A and B are shown apart, each in its own frame.
Chain A
Amino acid sequence: MAERRLVALGVAVLGLCAVFLLWNLRAPIGLILELRAEKLAALVMVGAATGAATVIFQTIATNRLLTPGIVGFDALFVFTQTMLVLALGGAGYVALAGTVKFVVEAAVLMAAAMALFGILFRNGAEDMIRMILTGVILGVLLRGLAGFAQRLLDPSEFAVVQQASIASFNAVDPEMSGIAALVLICGLGAALWLAPRLDVAALGRVQARVLGLDHDRLVLTSLGVVAALVAVSTALVGPVTFLGLLAASFAHALLRDHRHSVLIPAAALMGAAILVAGQAVFERLLGLQSALAVIVEFAGGLLFLALVLGRRAR
């Protein structure tokens, strides 16, 4: 059953992509198609990375409210970026090849996330309130630190950071796409490899250990994968806090299945579907340019509130 719904979702995403590419196509067809394909690739990658990362993160946190964005993963990424500009200088940073930048930033993010959140999950995962609060405070702290570091930059360096730290689906760096795609594929592969262990981890730390899962190690590995996936999406468009929450919640609601071997692909597809559909509607139907990030955040924020106020949070 769940598999069939997953296939249907996949077909729907393919359809959406086709619509996005071919809708209202005019000469010069080759050029427009190329531009659209570039944008489509970025949208799909960001949606897939964010959706998959959120499902994994929610499982190891045993909490369906948290997303990597809410607890400050992308703030950590922006902070890393700012520190890199601060260390190298604006010119040095821009001179760095896109792929080198990405690899360095992703590596730093993975290490920092495993160190920071690894400690947090090891002892505190049972206490949900503490988890959320610590995460949110950590996120605010990192954003504050990044903001402070940005004050120290001169205006031209600041412009470099600012471009990287505000979500925009229109200014996607094509140079990044190649390496991002590679990391995304590896990340999704690793996520599927972890899937059976994540199934058990969803029962909670103690029960998972009773069933013979090395929980500490799974948490560390998963955080590494989540960090890599967040790096993909943040490097491509900048921080998007609530997109993952939308994708993961819809995936859970659609599949009604606990197996991560179908949940992770579903959340990835759902994330891609939200972005592609949203962008198509905003760009073509409403003629708006940059509202997608705002609207996704708005809808995700509403869902977050509905989940907090409505049902139980697990």
Chain B
Amino acid sequence: MIEINNLSVSRDGARILHDVTLNVPPGRLAAIIGPNGAGKSTLLHCMAGLLPPDCGQVLVNSRNIHALSEARRALILSLLTQAQGTIPRLSVQDLVAFGRWPHHRGRPTATDRAITAKALARFDLDQLATRNVETLSGGQRQRAFVAMAYAQSTPWMFLDEPLAALDPKYVRDIMDRLRDMTGDKTGQRSIALVLHDLSVAARYADFCIAMKAGRIIAAGPWRDIVTSDLLSDLYDTPLRVAQLDGVPVVMGL
């Protein structure tokens, strides 16, 4: 469970989040949606403990995330950012292995190697394990970074626009795996992610956080709260939620 109480956050002196109060239940795939500049990334970074709040607090599994040390925090949550850093000539395997760093802090054990291997297999990266990360296609690269976050084995995973500039095949690739993780009986993950493609959000997310101008407009189970009216209001443009072969889609009118 994530409990956010009266959270206000500023960046470079400008207030981005205004008095946000929000609960995110565990074991869900929670999508944060909203127009550009709504504060979605800021909320995610603050939830991940990387941005200090002006006031208010974020409790992840009842612990104040901003009061924890960096080392402890990295065992509770992982964050995939939009601009991922890499090292020249780093192999996919070595990249994914970095996900285990919070656990071994420089001295990898057999367990760490086994979990790295499991992450590689789960994300179909076995064939690419020795490839240089810089030579991967955008979709493969993103999959490798999600695999690294997965290898970190944290109960909470945050992803900031993990689908930006990906082809439909890779979108499905990544979203299917993320949904599988929230349904896992052993080692279940709770996931929160910023999404721009509303049809993808409608199809995969089971919890929705709608944001606008630094405030939460609505939060709750996707089916209960996401309607054509809500989305149209949220984005200031006519949008409609429809069913196509039993799959929800969102389209502009």
Give residues in A with beta carbon < 8 Å to B.
Answer: 62, 64, 195-197, 199-200, 202-204, 206-207, 209-215, 252, 256, 258, 314
Contact = CB atoms under 8 A, between A and B. Distances in A.
Given A206-B81, A210-B79, A212-B70, A199 B152 contact: no
B110 to A, nearest CB: 18
Contacts of B102: 211-212
B90 A258 contact: yes
Contacts of B123: none
B87 A206 contact: no
A271 B101 CA distance: 30
B79 A258 contact: no
B48 interface: yes
Nearest to B74: A212
A199 B94 CA distance: 11
Interface string B91-111: 000100011011001110000
B74 A211 contact: yes
Interface string B68-83: 0111111100110101
Contacts of A197: 105-106
Given A196-B106, A200-B98, A258-B94, A209 B50 contact: yes
Contact of B75 (A202, A212, A213, A314): A212
27 contacts: A62-B85, A64-B88, A195-B106, A197-B105, A199-B98, A199-B106, A202-B85, A203-B85, A204-B84, A206-B83, A206-B85, A207-B85, A209-B70, A210-B48, A210-B50, A210-B74, A210-B81, A211-B99, A211-B102, A211-B152, A212-B73, A212-B101, A212-B105, A213-B101, A214-B69, A258-B87, A258-B94
A53 B94 CA distance: 24
* Chain B interface helix/strand/loop/mixed: loop
A210 B79 CA distance: 6
Contacts of A209: 50, 70
A212 B90 CA distance: 20
Given A195-B106, A199-B106, A211 B85 contact: no
A123 to B, nearest CB: 10
Given A196-B101, A199-B98, 5 more contacts: A206-B50, A207-B85, A211-B152, A212-B71, A214-B71
A197 B71 CA distance: 12
Contacts of A199: 98, 101, 106
B115 to A, nearest CB: 14
B85 A204 contact: yes
A127 to B, nearest CB: 12
A190 to B, nearest CB: 15
Nearest to B101: A211
B102 to A, nearest CB: 4
Given A212-B70, A214-B71, A207 B81 contact: yes
Per CB-CB distance, the 4 closest pairs between chain A and chain B, nearest first, are A196-B106, A212-B74, A204-B85, A212-B102
Nearest to A312: B88
A278 B105 CA distance: 39
Given A211-B102, A212-B101, A256 B50 contact: no
B89 A256 contact: yes
A102 B218 CA distance: 64
B50 A203 contact: no
Interface string B38-72: 00000000001010000000000000000001111
A184 B204 CA distance: 57
A103 B72 CA distance: 38
Contacts of A213: 70, 101
A248 B78 CA distance: 32
Nearest to A256: B89
Nearest to A217: B70
B86 interface: yes
Nearest to B102: A212
Nearest to B84: A207
Contacts of A200: 98, 101
Contacts of A314: 88
Contacts of B69: 214
Nearest to A193: B106
